Amino acid sequence: MSVEQIILYAVLTPLVGAGLIAVIGDRPNIREAATLVSGVVLFGLVANLYPLMANEQTPQVSLFEMLPGLSLSFQIEPLGMIFAGIASFLWIVTSIYSIGYMRGHHEKNQTRFYFFFAIAISAAIGIAFAGNMLTLFVFYEVLTISTFPLVTHSGTDDAKRGGRVYLGILMGTSIVFLLTAVIWTWSLTGTLDFTAGGILAGKVDGPPAAILFALYMFGIGKAALMPFHRWLPAAMVAPTPVSALLHAVAVVKAGAFSIVKVIVYIFGVETLTREFSSGWLLYVSGFTIIAASIVALRSDNLKRRLAYSTVSQLSYVVLAAAILSPISVMAAAFHIAAHAFGKITLFFAAGSIMVASNKTLVSQLDGIGRRMPWTMGAFFIGALSMIGLPPTAGFVTKWYLLTGAFDAGQMVAVGVIVLSTLLNAGYFLPIVYAAFFRKDPTAAALVADETAIDKHHPPLLIHGEAPVFMVIALSITAAGTVALFLFPDWPLGLAQQLVGGTP
C-alpha cells in the first residue's frame, strides 16, 4: 500500500464505517462492533504514517481541482500527525465509552449518533491532513455540519436552542471572517498551500496585515476566542460522549490546530514577530483564559464548569502561539495532545457521575469519591493536568509555555499563566476534596437506621460505578494523561519538527 493510499484510506475509513453503521443500525451489537473496528483500522493507518515524520518526509496527494489552480489535497506534516493521532486513538476510546453511556442512559437514536460521530471523525482527519487552506476550510465546514445533529441529539427545546447558537456562531464566523481571509490570501499570493515560513511573508504588512490576521483568528470560531465562545457552553445540552467529541477529540482541537497552522504556515512566525500588528492576540487570548476561568469558578453545573474550562484551556494554545517563540509554539502543539487526554477524562467522569447517580451539580458531589473511586480518581488526574501539575501532561505544557514566555520577555503572558493556574486549582481541587473528604448526606441518611439495613445486601441507593465500558474508557484516558508526562517524546518530537520549519 502506497503512502498516498494510506492518506486517502485514513480519510475514507470513518466514512465507510458510517455507511456500515447506517446499514446495520437495527443490530446494536454489530453496529457498535463496526464502530470499534473502524476506529482501530483508522488508528492503524495513522500509526503507519508516523515513521515518515521520523524521517522528515512530507508526502502529498491531490485528488481533484476544486477551483482553477486550487485542488483538494492532503499532506502529512508534524502538527497534522499530532492531531490525527489524537483523533484516531480517542475515537476508539470514546466509542467504548459511548457503548456504556448510550445503553446505560437509554438514549434514543443511537444509530444516528454513531453515524454522525463517524462523519465528524472523517472531517477531523481531513483537517489534520489538509494540504492547503481551501481543503482545511472544506473539512472545517463538514465538521461543523456533521456535529450539529449530535448537539441537538436529545431533540428538546434546549437542545434545539443550543444547536442554533452552535451552528450560528461557527458557520457565521467561518463564512464571514475565515472565508474572506482565505480569498484575500489567495488574491495576495496566488496559492493557499501550507508552506514553511508562511506564504504571506513579504506579501502584506501594516494595517492590512493586522486586519487579515484578525479575520483568521476570529474566523476560526472553533478556537473559542472571546467574544465568539458562546457556542461551546451552549452545546453542553448534548450527551456526554458528544461533549467529549466537541472538547477533546475533534471540534475544539480543529480550532486550536487551525490557529497554529495559520500562524506557522500562512503568516510565518518570523513575519508575525516583525509585525507589531499581531501582538493584540496575546492580550485577547490572555483575557479569554482569565475571564473563562472566573466563569468556571462560579459555575455549579459540572458540565458548564468544564465547558468554560475548555474555553480557557483552548486559549493556552492561542497564547502559546501568540508568544511567537519556538519553545512556545512547541507548547501550543503539545497542549493539543495534553488537553485532549485531560479534558476527555473530565467529561467522561462527569458523564459517569450523571449515569450512576443522576447528579449534575458540583454542590451534589460530597462523598461521591467513596462510591465511585475509579471515576473520581480519573477526575483527579484530569484536574491535575488542567492545573498543570505533575505527574500529568499539563505540567509539560506549562513548563514549555512558561519557558517560551520568559525567553520572549512576555511577562504579561507569565502573569496570565500563573493567575490562571491558581484559578484552575480553585475550581477543580474543591471538587476532588468534596468527593473524597466530605460525607455524602444521602449515604448518612440511609445508614442512620441500622436496623433497616440488610447486611448481606447493602443499600443499592448508594450507587456504585457507572457501566463498565465507561469506567474502562475513563481509566484509559487518565492513564494516557500520565503516560504523556512520562513519555512525551512522540508529541514533543513532532513539535520540534514543526518549529524546525519542515512542513
Domain ranges of the chain: 287-503
Helix (H, G, I), strand (E, B) or coil at 208: helix
Q: What is the largest CA-CA distance in the chain?
A: 82
Q: What is the pLDDT of residue 461?
A: 34
Q: What percent of the chain has pLDDT over 90?
A: 59
Residue 72 neighbours by CB under 8 Å, 6+ apart: 62, 63, 64, 65, 66, 134, 135, 138
- Is the pLDDT at 61 greater than 90? The verdict is no
Residue 274 neighbours by CB under 8 Å, 6+ apart: none
pLDDT in tens, 405-448: 999 889 999 999 999 999 999 999 999 999 999 887 765 544 44
Q: Average pLDDT in the 33-45 region?
A: 95
Instruction: Give the separation between CA 304 and CA 350, rounded to whole angstroms.
Output: 11
Three cell numbers, residue 31: 453496529
Helix (H, G, I), strand (E, B) or coil at 388: coil
Q: What is the pLDDT of residue 276?
A: 62
pLDDT in tens, 189-240: 999 999 888 898 888 888 888 899 999 999 999 988 989 888 888 887 777 7
State the Cα angle at 464 between 458 and 469, rounded to 5°: 140
Q: What is the pLDDT of residue 120?
A: 94
Average pLDDT, whole number, for the chain?
A: 87
Q: Average pLDDT in the 133-148 region?
A: 94
Which of 27-41, 116-130, 292-306, 346-360 is least confident? 346-360
Helix (H, G, I), strand (E, B) or coil at 55: coil
